[in-house]
Amino acid sequence: MTTTDTRPHPGGFATLAGRSVARVGFGAMQLRWADADDEPVAVLRRAVELGVDHLDTAEFYGDGTVNRRIRAALAPYPEHLVLVTKVGATANPGGEIELRLAQRPEELRAEVEANLTTLGVDRLDVVNLRRADMPPGLIAEGDQVVDLDDQLAVLMGMRDEGTIGAIGLSNVSADQLRRALPAGIVCVQNAYSLVDRTTEPVLDLCREHGIARVPYFPLGSSWPGTPKVTDLPAVISVAERLGATPSQVGLAWLLAHAPETLLIPGTRSVAHLEENVAAGGLLLDAEAMAELS
């Protein structure tokens, strides 16, 4: 990043697909639940104003609704914006579950093309392959059990064609990431938070190979009955001492815990967006880190 760049950079800078991005980005999934476009457009435009330049989305979020809202809010896209999408599932309108898996190579290609269309771009900066071997979410069965190498081959082909800039992975084990390294993986999205550190071996591998780590469920899973970071007594105590919210402390811990971490907290509220972005400026002292870790 050049010294003449005066844009804000919440959380500082890190590298994603060879680009410098702010470490606090935005995950757009929640925008699918807005009743109209006004609220999502306001949130997205405010995010860019605050320095967010890493935007995470997927065609299967609301059957294209989120991508269309991103396009309405931000196209023509700022040159510094890194658009990251995800494939491995597709919308299932009218189904008991709103998603179905789409793991086969031809389905991955179709999802990439759908993202290109709804976002209105010729190239996606990063495409994450969401595997379905383990929870959370749907588990692959039957013809949806697909070899990782076959999936990477089609994405690498699209990268060679120029429709994909870089390839990431989501919901993978350390062994799967190690196997995929020759494909040039630039980021990994796995569940990770103060209350769920089971994918620490993946983080270690990301650190070793200079791969960005993008945790989902950064404040704990949204599944009913699962622990939440904001309920931890230590988090509440640190938040009170530092004059922050518990969610800000949980996000700030992730940034402090590993410099490879990029955050993509999502929201439908401008006020909550501003709170999340401000977490990038929250410095946890040694006492706080010891209490939390």
| Cβ atoms 89, 107 nearer than 8 A | no
At 148 the three-state DSSP class reads helix
Query: Considering only CA atoms, which of 189, 193, 225 is closest in space to residue 292?
Result: 193
Nearest-angstrom CA–CA distance, 113 and 118 = 9
Backbone phi and psi for residue 189, each to the nearest 5 degrees, phi listed first:
-110, 110
Question: Would residue 61 show up in a list of annotated catalytic residues for this protein?
Answer: yes
H or E element, residue 66: helix 65-74
Nearest residue to 71 (alpha-carbon basis) of 27, 41, 101, 102: 41
| Cα gap 215→203, rounded to integer Å | 10
Q: Which residues of 156-172 are buried (b: 16+ CB within 10 A; e: fewer)?
A: eebbeeebbbbbbbbbb
What six digits make up the tokens of 143?
Answer: 């013809």
Q: Which of 61, 77, 192, 216 is catalytic?
A: 61
Q: Which of 63, 64, 51, 60 is nearest to 25 (CA)?
A: 51
**Would you name the residues annotated as active-site residues?**
61
